[in-house]
């Protein structure tokens, strides 16, 4: 479903509302998920993202705390049969996950197998509608595509009804560079942009927000404790 366009203006810069505390990284342990839940609550962060293998345990940790649970399927490459991705989506939904990020098989796009690339997107859309999962967002690994390819992929995603995409840098383990920010600013206003990356400081977060990023998944969620969260930001 498409969002109604909002009018630009001033809004309060609240890092704890922009950041999603992430436990999504290679080698993530169940103890990491527990720590993410605990630290998110301590820092006033409202959302967490965990590997799909741990969504059951994460749902138990969260309980009635009010934390919003999301997961990332087919991480980190998307090189997984589509049927298995559908299974991951269903399991995530059954365990109370409200938001799913998924890696499409970008190799199909890069190999000019556009029909196959679009077929996977169609399957994801159909499955999400079938199980009632409203927030499903594709992930594009910025290091694997050129600026022109990134723009083309964004157009394809929008054509299939996605109004939000997640741009990842180094599978979430690198900061996002100026070149990628330039590309994000060129994406049409009808597509919302989120990021999966490292943050060195709140200055990095502010830079992302100033360049159209509305939400940031990061393992560096501790930056919210650097300073008071209420800041004025010109959009």
pLDDT score at 92: 95
Q: pLDDT at residue 77 above 50?
A: yes
**pLDDT per residue over 101-116, tens digit each?**
999 999 999 999 999 9
Please give the sequence-ordered ranges of beta strands (E in DSSP) within 63-191, or none if there are none: 68-73, 99-102, 135-141, 164-168
State how far the Cα of 127 lies from the Cα of 40, in Å rounded to an integer: 30
Whole-prediction pTM value?
Answer: 0.90
Could you tell me the pLDDT band of residue 13, with boundaries at 50, 70 and 90?
confident
Could you tell me the pLDDT band of residue 118, with boundaries at 50, 70 and 90?
very high
**pLDDT per residue over 132-159, tens digit each?**
999 999 999 999 999 999 999 999 999 9
Question: What are the residue boundaries of the structural domains of the chain, listed by start?
Answer: 13-223
Q: pLDDT at residue 227 above 70?
A: no
Secondary structure class of 155 (helix, strand, coil): helix
Residue of 126, 58, 127, 122 whose CA lies nearest to 87: 127
Instruction: Decide: residue 25, CB within 10 A, 0-12 exposed, 13-18 middle, 19+ buried.
Output: middle
**pLDDT per residue over 160-190, tens digit each?**
999 999 999 999 999 999 999 999 999 989 9
Beta bridge partners of 196: 168, 217
- What percent of the chain is modeled with pLDDT above 90? 86
Could you tell me the pLDDT band of residue 87, with boundaries at 50, 70 and 90?
very high
pLDDT score at 37: 96
Question: 87-90, long-range: CB within 8 Å, 24+ apart, which pairs?
Answer: 88/52, 89/124, 89/127, 89/128, 89/131, 89/133, 89/136, 90/127, 90/131
**How does strand 10-13 pair with strand 231-234?**
antiparallel
Element housing 125 (H / E): helix 114-131
Beta bridge partners of 20: 47, 217
Q: pLDDT at residue 23 above 50?
A: yes
- What percent of the chain is modeled with pLDDT above 70? 91
- Count of CB atoms within 10 A of residue 43's CB? 17
Could you tell me the pLDDT band of residue 228, with boundaries at 50, 70 and 90?
very low
Instruction: Decide: residue 126, CB within 10 A, 0-12 exposed, 13-18 middle, 19+ buried.
Output: exposed
Secondary structure class of 1 (helix, strand, coil): coil
Could you tell me the pLDDT band of residue 8, with boundaries at 50, 70 and 90?
very low
**pLDDT per residue over 196-224, tens digit each?**
999 999 999 999 999 999 999 999 999 99
Beta bridge partners of 137: 101
CA angle 110, 197, 69 (to 5 degrees): 100
- Is 3.40.50.300 the CATH number for 13-223? no
Q: What is the mean pLDDT of residues 33-44?
A: 95
Residue of 221, 129, 217 whose CA lies nearest to 167: 217
């Amino acid at each position: 479903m498409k969002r109604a366009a909002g009018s630009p203006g001033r809004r309060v810069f609240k890092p704890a509302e922009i950041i999603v505390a992430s436990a999504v990284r290679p080698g993530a342990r169940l103890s990491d998920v527990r720590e993410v839940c605990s630290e998110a609550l301590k820092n006033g962060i409202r959302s967490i993202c965990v590997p799909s293998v741990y969504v059951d345990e994460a749902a138990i940790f969260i309980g009635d705390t009010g934390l919003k649970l999301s997961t990332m399927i087919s991480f980190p490459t998307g090189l997984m049969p589509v049927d298995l991705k559908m299974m991951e989506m269903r399991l995530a939904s059954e365990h109370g996950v409200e938001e799913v990020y998924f890696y499409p098989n970008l190799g199909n796009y890069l190999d000019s197998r556009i029909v196959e690339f679009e077929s996977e997107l169609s399957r994801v859309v159909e499955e999400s509608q079938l199980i009632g999962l409203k927030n499903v967002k594709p992930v594009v690994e910025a290091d694997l595509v050129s600026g022109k390819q990134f723009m083309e992929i964004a157009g394809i995603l929008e054509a299939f009804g996605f109004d939000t995409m997640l741009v990842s840098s180094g599978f979430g383990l690198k900061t996002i560079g100026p070149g990628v920010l330039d590309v994000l600013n060129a994406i049409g206003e009808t597509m919302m942009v989120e990021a999966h990356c490292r943050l060195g400081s709140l200055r990095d977060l502010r830079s992302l927000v100033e360049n159209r990023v509305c939400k940031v998944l990061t393992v560096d969620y501790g930056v919210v404790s650097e300073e008071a969260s209420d800041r004025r930001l010109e959009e």
